[in-house]
Amino acid sequence: DTEVTQTPKHLVMGMTNKKSLKCEQHMGHRAMYWYKQKAKKPPELMFVYSYEKLSINESVPSRFSPECPNSSLLNLHLHALQPEDSALYLCASSQGFGTYGYTFGSGTRLTVV
């Protein structure tokens, strides 16, 4: 298995809702990442997990809460989002942090209404 699987592919949520994005990989990678991408911009790093521990938080607002329950799974919990949080959310994994190449999932396109 050489894929990173993200669900759901599309999500529409209200500003008072709570939702979660899910990311899964079975390549034995020990680093996992959340990126946010706005239209016509490159992906921007949000969080890095290395060996299931949060190692980087790029000053992301607390309405985004990451979780890494095990080495294969990464979640992003969303609560009280704003319309400007609408974006493509991408998950990636690599063998180790900052090493080798990254494999990206197909993303979740989030719309906050």
Which SS3 state, helix, strand or coil, does residue 47 take? strand
Between 75 and 106, CB nearer to another protein: 106
| Contact string (CB under 8 A) for another protein, positions 45-64, x = contact | x--x-------x--------
Residues 18, 91, 45: CA angle, nearest 5 degrees: 90
CB 72 within 8 A of CB 66: no
Residue 106 sits in the site that holds another protein (CB under 8 A) = yes
List residues binding another protein (CB under 8 A). Answer: 33, 37, 41-45, 48, 56, 88, 90, 92, 97-104, 106-107, 109
